[in-house]
Chain A
Amino acid sequence: MSNDKLLRHARIDRCFHWLTAIAMTMLLLTSLSPILGWNWAWYGVHWVAGLLLTLLILLHIVRALFWQRPGTMLLSASDFSARGAGKYTLAQKMMHLGWMLAVLVAIVTGLLLLKKAGVPFMERDPYMYSLGTWGVLTLLHDLAALLSVFLVLVHVYFAVLPEKRAYLRAMVSGSISRADLAAEHDVERVERGE
């Protein structure tokens, strides 16, 4: 890598991002297609994609906690100062927070709903909870799906904006130039791992 470029995302993190994107796309397409009038046996693809997403998120949490600097993604007072951002801008942190909320709620409620709907490796038990409790779990799962629809639109929009495209390139190649980074970041802070 040339001196002009900085490594922004390691290969494993890029793989995580794109596999998560595939899983989320499959989950949204499978769950929303019957609502949009396309009736097919969507549930099999949905729970497999859901378990793939669960596995990816568990790996991401372990990697973030033990191999990365989770503090770079946390909101801090410096995000609201005039100085350049650290590794992530305030908008990127807010997007991560939104995804965290949507995905964690979807995963927890989705795993519980597997017990109601049934999967080949787990006996179905729709009487585990009352109908009211299943209703609340489904409500939260639905809200996570609606939030995901909103986040997909906003996330893809910012990814393809010309002035933000360096971030998209970094999510493909791994690196970003110092000049591109300097537009919104304090390169010294980024190099210090903030």
Chain B
Amino acid sequence: MSLLRYGHDAYGATVLNGVSWDLLPVAFWAGVAVIVVHLIWRALRRGKCA
């Protein structure tokens, strides 16, 4: 998985183009991970209170 996108200028030199879109699923799954961790924490807390 690459972190950055690169292109080439008119002389063939490598130039930065932006963030690699391989990171899009990472951002998505990071959000899902926070949700899952919170759901587990919430369930454990409710279990303690019951």
Contacts and interface: CB of A to CB of B under 8 A. Distances in A.
**Interface SS of chain B: helix, strand, loop or mixed?**
helix
A157 interface: yes
Given A146-B27, A149-B28, A149-B31, A157 B38 contact: yes
A32 B21 CA distance: 9
Interface in A133-168: 135-136, 138-139, 141-143, 146-147, 149-154, 157
Contacts of B16: 132, 135-136, 138-139
A147 B24 CA distance: 10
Interface in A5-47: 32, 35
A149 B19 contact: no
Q: Is the interface of A mostly helix, strand, loop or mixed?
A: helix
Interface residues of A, number: 20
B18 interface: yes
Interface string A39-79: 00000000000000000000000000000000000000000
A157 B35 contact: yes
Interface residues of B, number: 19
A141 B26 CA distance: 17
Nearest to A133: B16
B19 A139 contact: yes
Interface of B: 4, 9, 15-19, 21, 23-24, 26-28, 30-32, 34-35, 38
Q: Which 6 A-B pairs have the closest CB atoms?
A: A153-B31, A135-B16, A142-B19, A138-B18, A146-B27, A149-B27
